[in-house]
Structure 1
């Protein structure tokens, strides 16, 4: 979907159409959840502090998010996908992979399917979507950004390797700023330069992800579209109106977040073994600490105690804390064999 949250707001309030818009909090500690294309022209992006966005675009309008509306529209769009194929793998409320090799409409061309889906989305929701069409997930994702907004782009098997070769490493889906910086430090800035790297070299520097990078540089990605993928984590985080300066306040915050995470785990009978605590300082420097237990966490007290011990390892605090997060992951029986390792995922959106 194109600028999904912002586009929903502009659809529902005609006075917002054509104006630079950010979905999120406008206060000093707010963050942009989504930006309209009018705002993006000024450099406003998702995950940007609201004060920075306002400085870039003084005319920027802020509206609070309405996630219940976004979820309802997302369900409408999912229903449209499923008229064509049951093989739908959502990535978020506004994005999904579809395998249309064999489709319910028996349409022989993926481009025609994409065109039909986009037209139906526009007709039923009043919103535009963009599509990437290719023979694997990685290239379809890269293609989906190539004709935004309200367009589509095809990468054929004959074009795959050459398309990747001309891409900057920082634009690869699944490579965030930290990993891109590591590549740059190794003298690798493009897909063509990545393709020159031997597999052992990539494995030495990037571990399990090295094999995925080696394959992607050649336009190869064997991951299947997996409908109804099992949930791999449950987490909660909070940005505080006033920075937390005392360790006791940080511990209390972590305990409250652990209680929220446990509530979800208990209600869904989902229990993981790995606890991760996230701490963001007032200067936006972020650190995480994780611990994997021998058995799934089956009690709230154990989750809370583990989270507190992890955050205690960060005391004394370097600076005051603006954000805390707690996540549980690693449920028994999960396997990532089909998924390439992704060392750093950027927070983004269409």
Structure 2
């Protein structure tokens, strides 16, 4: 059966959510993300995009390009809540939903066309529901496969020009039988897997558009790009993509990293941060009912040099102390005197967590403690309990999922008394 796939992409999602509670900012250049000098842009309104401000741009650069922009810190918990509302609307039309992030998803509506109409009609219904119920905009691509649907949603979006904002079409359909007519005029860099290096190699073959690539023979492309990359890109250039919409996708890794407003030089400070990050990551592991065998430490120094160190354990672990025990030696083996800009903890290679038994054949104390901590947080919130070393004069410094992914907000540097208090603890 021919499939009908939608790719729904929210328009400037984080900014649009913020504008619902700040309607006074509608029509102004608004930037959401890390507000500090080390932050990055998470989303920019189309008014801000006119000044070439876009996601992943350093906040400091965004300020130079658009000095009159309004900068707002990201609120990941709010965006997650609104994303659930968006997905509830998706679920009215199909159970086959593959989230890609908070603001985009694939939907397979092949089995829903008899009830709701063709793919374009379903796309229009979804847009109307999202606009009417949530006061948000989205763009939708409709196509026979995921690859083309994602490309089509890009064509449906509004565009910011230096002198104006062009409204988007809202819905763009790639009609079965006309896939190559849509695909071949596009720049070849639009294909998944074409980065700067690959793009340069393709230009060496005289390739500018997707159609140029599709007309090359396989041996030429494989010789230039390698077997895996060459065959992959040739298949895409011919509109071939048989991947299904994956409803349940288990995470391949669970972790958290933070960029600090000021470089950390003191090993004791880094130890406290390792405990704090490990506590948060282990809590997420337990919520997934998983333990991890492979633990990875990421350290980015003041000069942007980044190192990772990993260790693989004999059996999966899921508690903060176990993560610290394994990662602490990796951290202490590094020379942190240049100053640490970012610290991260991630876990992978999942399996059922093993419970160490005592001589009385009862679960080890660390397992019971972790279970009690989870119960307290479920009942009273994440700020109810945490590592003692994470307490500061401003309260318990908890790790919130999604927080810090855009870098730190601007914070005052600790004064001498606060630094002394932290050392004494």
**TM range, smaller chain:** 0.7 to 0.9
Query: How far 1:159 sits from its partner (Å)?
Result: 3.4
- List gaps (5 residues or longer) in structure 1: 334-346
Partner residue, 1:257: 277
Provide the C-alpha distance between the structure 2 equivalents of 1:117 and 1:131, rounded to a whole number of angstroms.
9
Map of 1:241 onto structure 2 = 261
SS in 1 for 2:54: coil
1:112 aligned residue (117, 121, 132)? 121
Tell me which moved more, 8-17 or 320-329: 320-329
Mapped to 1, the partners of 2:138 and 2:344 lie a distance apart of: 32
Query: Which blocks of at least 5 consecutive residues in structure 2 are unaligned?
Result: 1-9, 159-167, 353-404, 407-425
Match of 2:59 among 36, 50, 55: 50
TM-score normalised by the chain length of structure 1: 0.81
Q: State the 1:169 CA deviation.
A: 4.2
Q: Is the alpha carbon distance of 1:212 and 1:290 closer, same or farther for their aligned partners in structure 2, counting shifts above 3 Å? A: farther
Q: Which residue number in structure 1 is paired with residue 381 of structure 2? A: none
Give a deviation string over 1:205-245, Cα, whole Å, max 9, x none: 56755553342222111111122322332111111111124
Q: Who is 1:168 aligned against?
A: 187
Contact 1:258 1:307 in 2 (8 A): no
* Aligned with 1:226 (options 246, 260, 282): 246
Tell me the equivalent position of 2:201: 186
In structure 2, the partner of 1:21 is: 30
* C-alpha contact (below 8 Å) 2:189/2:199 kept by paired residues: no
Greater shift, 70-79 or 195-204, is seen at 195-204
Check if 1:303 corresponds to 2:312.
Answer: no
Asked if residue 269 in structure 1 is aligned to residue 289 in structure 2, the reply is yes
1:181–1:252 CA distance, 2 compared to 1 (3 A): farther
Q: What is the distance in 1 between the residues matched to 2:316 and 2:223? A: 30
Write out per-residue CA displacement over residues 180-200 of structure 1, whole angstroms, 9 at most, x where no aligned residue.
122034335643454436379
Say whether the 8 Å CA contact 2:83–2:103 is kept in structure 1: yes
State the secondary structure of the residue aligned to 1:276: strand
Indicate yes or no: 2:325 matched with 1:324: no
Deviation at 1:166, TM superposition (A): 3.6
Larger Rg: 2
CA-based RMSD: 3.2
Q: What do residues 31-50 of structure 1 show as CA deviations (whole Å, max 9, x unaligned)?
A: 22211111111111122221
Q: How does 1:82-161 map to 2 (within 5 A)?
A: 82-103=91-112, 106-149=115-158, 150=168, 151-161=170-180
Secondary structure of the structure 2 residue equivalent to 1:22: strand
